[in-house]
Amino acid sequence: MKDKILVTGGTGYIGSHTTVELQKAGYEVVIIDNLSNSNREVIDGIEAITGVRPDFVEGDCTDIPTLRKLFEEHPGIKGIINFAASKAVGESVHKPLLYYRNNLNTLINLLDLMPEYGVKGIVFSSSCTVYGEPDSNPIDETAPIKDPTSPYGNTKQISEEIIKDYVASGAPIKSILLRYFNPIGAHESALIGELPVGVPQNLVPYLTQTAAGIRKELTVFGNDYNTPDGSCIRDYIDVVDLARAHVVAMTRMLDGKDTDAIEIFNLGTGRGLSVLELIDSFERATGVKVPHKIGPRREGDIEKIWADPKKANEVLGWKAEVPIDETMRKAWAWQQRLPKN
Which residues in this chain contact ligand NAD in the complex, by CB under 6 A? 8-9, 11-15, 32-38, 60-62, 83-87, 102, 106, 125, 127, 180, 182-183
Shortest spacing between CB 220 and ligand UFG, in angstroms: 4
Angle at 232 between CA 291 and CA 242, to 5 degrees: 90
Out of ligand UFG, ligand NAD, none, what residue 89 binds, judged by CB under 5 to 8 A for its kind, is ligand UFG
Shortest spacing between CB 283 and ligand UFG, in angstroms: 15
- Torsion sign across C-alpha atoms 134, 136, 137, 142: negative
Dihedral of the alpha carbons of 316, 313, 126, 113, in degrees to the nearest 10: 0
Out of ligand UFG, ligand NAD, none, what residue 13 binds, judged by CB under 5 to 8 A for its kind, is ligand NAD
Indicate the residue among 62 and 335 with the shorter CB distance to ligand NAD. 62
Determine the Cα–Cα distance for residues 267 and 255; give it in Å rounded to an integer.
Answer: 21
Indicate the residue among 40 and 284 with the shorter CB distance to ligand NAD. 40
Interface with ligand UFG (CB under 6 A)? 87, 89, 127-129, 180-182, 201-203, 206, 218-221, 232, 234, 275, 298, 301
3-class secondary-structure state, position 296: coil
Indicate the residue among 78 and 179 with the shorter CB distance to ligand UFG. 179
Of 156, 151, 141, 170, the closest CA to residue 106 belongs to 156
Residues in the chain: 341
Angle at 183 between CA 89 and CA 132, to 5 degrees: 50
Indicate the residue among 32 and 77 with the shorter CB distance to ligand NAD. 32
Residue type, 56: F
Indicate the residue among 301 and 325 with the shorter CB distance to ligand UFG. 301
Out of ligand NAD, ligand UFG, none, what residue 154 binds, judged by CB under 5 to 8 A for its kind, is none
Shortest spacing between CB 258 and ligand NAD, in angstroms: 28
Point out the residues that are catalytic: 152
Out of ligand UFG, ligand NAD, none, what residue 298 binds, judged by CB under 5 to 8 A for its kind, is ligand UFG
State the SS3 of 167-209.
Answer: HHCCCCCEEEEEEECEEECCCCCCCCCCCCCCCCCCHHHHHHH
Determine the Cα–Cα distance for residues 54 and 31; give it in Å rounded to an integer.
Answer: 7
Shortest spacing between CB 148 and ligand UFG, in angstroms: 10
Indicate the residue among 167 and 240 with the shorter CB distance to ligand UFG. 240
User: In the beta sheet, which residues pair with residue 81?
Assistant: 7, 123
Shortest spacing between CB 301 and ligand UFG, in angstroms: 5
Of 126, 8, 165, the closest CA to residue 77 belongs to 8
Out of ligand UFG, ligand NAD, none, what residue 60 binds, judged by CB under 5 to 8 A for its kind, is ligand NAD
Shortest spacing between CB 35 and ligand NAD, in angstroms: 5
State the SS3 of 19-49.
Answer: HHHHHHCCCEEEEEECCCCCCCHHHHHHHHH
Out of ligand NAD, ligand UFG, none, what residue 85 binds, judged by CB under 5 to 8 A for its kind, is ligand NAD
